[in-house]
Structure 1
Amino acid sequence: MSFQNHLAYHSMYQKDKMTLGFILPTARMSKNPIMENQLELARKIEEYGFASLWLRDITMQNLNIDDNGQKYDLWIYLTYLAAYTKHIALVTGSVVLPLRHPVRVAKEAASIDQLFPGRLIMGVASGDREKDFTALGISKQESGPLFKENFEILDRLLKEDQPTIHSHAGLIDGTDMRLIPKPESSIPTMVTGFSNQSINWIARNGDGWLQYPRSILQQAQLIQDYRALTEVHAPGDFKPFSQSLFINLLENPDEMPVPIPLGYSVGRNRLVDLLHQFQAIGVNHLAFALYFSKRPPEEVIQELGEFVLPYFPTHKGTGQL
């Protein structure tokens, strides 16, 4: 699949290079996410030149944990951010396909792409939050098959002009109906995690892969396996690999990395060393999560923007808006 006209894709992804972004909210994890200053911080992230903002798809607040995402509905908040920022890529990390009707997802994604051309990178997932499944009356045990079916419907609606689709979700007769609007350009659609699928299926069907943090060695092996399979299914095509990384940026810039859940407490200079390692193994984009950060997000964003981002600059998009 060619994304030659997709500005966000080209600003985030090049072979053998890595760019940086942020998962929102940039506040420390809490039962009630702090959202009041997130637009201001999102604009600051864009002004420094970071490549992306990532949003999550969470329906219900789990009162037993502190991880509740950006609180607002994924598509509504993404539209809000798109309206008040200029060009930064907006990544769904990720649309939980078993919990959303695929025709509605296709319409939402196409609408975003029409209104804000070339800014959407669509991550999709099978979902892992039990209470969301319970609240919506959907069996989590069926999330794998539902993801696969809904992905295929979504993919056809976005990439074919007038497909005829018979599925569990409904009937679309391509002789007398079609999705409206159609996307302005091809929308990169990337599988998140494994989504209860094989790596072979992911390499064949996704336009890229969004993954969770692992050790350098583990991630290197996964990327190697993925690249080998993408070459089998789409010889010569570049399918980018992205991941998140949780960081607690320490004030001493030379502080060595200490593991925390899904990331590190680390000083900025040693963080740069780590990021070079991730780039070397084939990570093409990395999104920071500040959920365990002990410093004000304004400080962390400023320090990363001034001292870390220059090593991993956002690419100048070659797509045409």
Structure 2
Amino acid sequence: MVTYGMQLPVQSQSALYAEPWEASAGPADLVGIARTADRAGFAYVAVCDHVAIPRRLAAAMSTVWYDPVATLSYLAAATERVRLLSHVAVVGLRHPLITAKQYATLDHLSAGRLVLGVGAGHVREEFEVLGVDFERRGTLLDETVDALRAALGPEEFPRFAGERVAFDGLGQRPRPAQARVPLWIGGSSPAAVRRAALKGDGWLPQGDPRDRLPTQIAKIRSLRAAAGITEPIEIGAITEPLYVGDASWHVGGRTLTGKPDLLVESLRAYGAMGVDQIQVRFRSRSRAELSDQMSAFAADVAPHLDS
């Protein structure tokens, strides 16, 4: 069964994907969209992570990046069932015990709805200002993932010994509500794909076109088989921008738009190639239009993706 989730608007406003209406939106809009996702059967809502944007990237990336833990905690109190995904947290920027404290608390407060998505990061200045080696961010992420497995496990006093990070005899409560917090690995480089295969409960590709996904998925499955890993992995994909129905405005040449049956026919291809969850994004001119698009997708498209 193919499930569906979405990256939230407003929380991050990169010029690559933000709609104009988001610039004047705020907390009430975030809550409204999250509640729509909750009602409409979305598997998750997602937020992403940057600490500070350098001036050289501000025009393209914007400096609007709400803190992911604060945002997801705020939305946890306003929703009931939808899962809360960091897509992705740049966990190498923080000590694993700090990350574990924040996300364990979020999982506890939300009654076990956290999915911790992590990635290596790409903004050199963020690493430098925080005193973290940008060039070794991949190696650091590998160790941080292992440390987080220990710190988010069932033990009140977790133990971990790595090259850069070690802890023992230090207790943290509350513990996560989940016995095992799902840890999804983001990225599409060879190193990220290998990391997802060997360390992840899920894979969050970053911008892979459809024709590249089957090769990436096959690589993940091959690496897991070779390592003797038998547990399932949640394979994700980010779809093209969507608009359900015949738009009366220009929604962009890359946007998949039209009657629901046309969208169903196109999106079924993801499940056929082995994708378990799709992350969808809708073109919109207002929060109301976005909510309508989400509801239309949930009612008229999503129920037919597996039929």
> Please, what TM-score do these two structures have when normalized by structure 2?
0.81
Q: Deviations over 1:159-213 (max 9, x none)?
A: 362443334655422xx43333322221001111147725344212111111123
Identify which of 23, 34, 42 aligns with 1:50: 42
SS, match of residue 65 in structure 1: helix
Pair 246,136 (structure 1): closer, same or farther in 2 beyond 3 Å: farther
Pair 248,200 (structure 1): closer, same or farther in 2 beyond 3 Å: closer
The alignment's C-alpha RMSD in Å is 3.1
Output the CA distance in 2 between the equivalents of 1:39 and 1:299.
15
Pair 135,272 (structure 1): closer, same or farther in 2 beyond 3 Å: farther
Partner in structure 2 of residue 19 of structure 1? 3
Query: Pairwise mapping of residues 199-278 of structure 1 onto structure 2 (< 5 A)?
Result: 199-249=193-243, 252=246, 260=254, 264-269=255-260, 270-278=262-270
Contact map agreement 2:4 2:279 (CA 8 A) in 1: yes
Q: Say which is worse superposed, 44-53 or 60-69, in terms of deviation.
A: 60-69
Contact map agreement 2:242 2:280 (CA 8 A) in 1: no
Partner in structure 2 of residue 178 of structure 1? 171
Offset of residue 272 of structure 1: 2.2
Output the CA distance in 2 between the equivalents of 1:93 and 1:233.
26
In terms of fraction of residues, the more helix-rich structure is: 2
Unaligned runs of 5+ in 1: 1-16, 315-321
Partner in structure 1 of residue 280 of structure 2? 288
Contact map agreement 2:7 2:280 (CA 8 A) in 1: yes
> Please, what TM-score do these two structures have when normalized by structure 1?
0.78
Output the CA distance in 1 between the equivalents of 2:98 and 2:288.
36
Offset of residue 239 of structure 1: 0.7
Aligned residues: 290
Query: Pairwise mapping of residues 301-312 of structure 1 onto structure 2 (< 5 A)?
Result: 301-307=291-297, 309-312=299-302
Aligned amino acid, residue 137 of structure 2: S
State percent identity of aligned pairs. 24
Offset of residue 34 of structure 1: 3.3
Aligned amino acid, residue 48 of structure 1: A
Identify which of 30, 40, 61 aligns with 2:32: 40
Contact map agreement 1:33 1:69 (CA 8 A) in 2: no
Unaligned runs of 5+ in 2: none
Partner in structure 2 of residue 3 of structure 1? none
Contact map agreement 1:204 1:230 (CA 8 A) in 2: yes
Contact map agreement 1:33 1:70 (CA 8 A) in 2: no
